[in-house]
Structure 1
Amino acid sequence: MARLAYTTIASLDGYVVDASGDFSWSAPDEEVHTFINELERPTGTYLLGRRMYEVMSVWETMPTGPPTSDGQPDPDAVTHDFARLWQAADKVVYSSTLASVTAPRTRLEREFDPAAVRSLVASAQRNVSIGGPTLASHAIRAGLVDEYHLFLTPIVVGGGVRSLPDDARVTLELRDERRFSSGVVYLRYQATG
């Protein structure tokens, strides 16, 4: 059975973007990126808001390999792997302002309909991921998110765009945790009610 997951990389104080609009501090290193690739491997569909679609559009044309021919490890192997995963997945972009989408395997929806998302997840053969805090807040409020994957970055930014909505209450059970050498901490929660 497919699950709807929300994955976010946030500052320790809970922001995905700081007050100046910067999120470069959240770029995962190779160890974290490799872990994220494995986490995303079962994902067949991404649900995105307009801003997240624009940020992630770089992955649509990112090279996907091949490894170097001299037998040396490909320095971009992790990046290429994620590009392959991203390009192979379907995407649904929710936007009332975007004129169109140009990426392959991508469709545009004008509004977020919880019943339609529930149906999409129920009929999916692979997991569904919702990206971006604004769109995810709609799914969280509607009780649609099954799993929360939080990557906490060792930085306090003091303001910006919050990773989780202020006006939602969800009971969670910790299912997994991991600490990375960079100080990033991964927490996986399952919604219990």
Structure 2
Amino acid sequence: MAKLIYMNNMSLDGYMEDERGAFAWFPIDDEVFAFQTELVRPVGTFLYGRRLYEAMAVWETDPALAAKSDLMAGFASAWQAASKIVYSTTLTAVSTADTRIERRFDPSAVRGLKAAASSDLMVGGANLAAQAFDAGLIDECELFILPIVVGGGRPGLPTGMRAELELIEERRFRNGVVHLRYRPLGQ
């Protein structure tokens, strides 16, 4: 069975966006970006909320982005190779290939996706990830902790629930970013 992985960049105080909705404070460098690309490369399907999908779609809709460097071209290629499912009640059309819209998150449908998939799935967006956590669907968390405190904003992990996790891998990067890989206990 394929795994459902939640990957997120977050500040040291646990936020993926600051109070203005900005995330440009991420000190991602080539070393971190290359590592993240290798994590994304084997993913067969991305599950996104509308906002994250719209932010990520540029990896297919803006060819100039991939043309900036070999690293960016590699990420664009890996991202484009995967299917995308966008959970949205407002989105009427998608701008990328191999993408479909679902109006609501259905845990049983995601269980079916995991059972039928030949490669892992990745969920993105805190709200969608919270629903997947709540349904017991998350198999791993790939968290990138950035060396900055932003003081508030959108939390990178679900709030209002408890989940015990087991650390299974860690890595420190030269720029101070720390990668932590967890799996829920009992899995």
The aligned counterpart of 1:4 is 4
The aligned counterpart of 2:130 is 137
In the alignment, is residue 41 of structure 1 matched against residue 41 of structure 2? yes
The aligned counterpart of 1:53 is 53
**Number of matched residues?**
186
Identity %: 52
Equivalent of 1:89 in 74, 82, 87: 82
Residue segments in structure 1 that go unaligned for 5+ positions in a row: 67-73
The aligned counterpart of 1:160 is 153
In the alignment, is residue 176 of structure 1 matched against residue 180 of structure 2? no
Q: Using a 3 Å threshold, how does the CA distance of structure 1 residues 101 and 27 change in structure 2: closer, same or farther?
A: farther
8 Å Cα contact 1:65/1:77 also seen in 2: no
- Cα distance in 2, alignment partners of residues 170 and 83 from structure 1: 33
Deviations 1:71-125 (A, max 9, x none): xxx9711110000001111000000011121310000000000110111011100
Deviations 1:124-155 (A, max 9, x none): 00000000111111001111000000000000
- Cα distance in 2, alignment partners of residues 65 and 84 from structure 1: 11
Deviations 1:44-75 (A, max 9, x none): 10000000011101101344999xxxxxxx97
* Displacement of 1:8: 0.2
The aligned counterpart of 2:28 is 28
- Cα distance in 1, alignment partners of residues 37 and 98 from structure 2: 19
What is the letter of the counterpart of residue 33 of structure 2?
H
- Cα distance in 2, alignment partners of residues 34 and 87 from structure 1: 16
- Cα distance in 2, alignment partners of residues 156 and 27 from structure 1: 12
**Which of structure 1's runs of 4+ aligned residues deviate more than 4 A?**
none
Larger radius of gyration, structure 1 or 2? 1
- Cα distance in 1, alignment partners of residues 25 and 65 from structure 2: 26
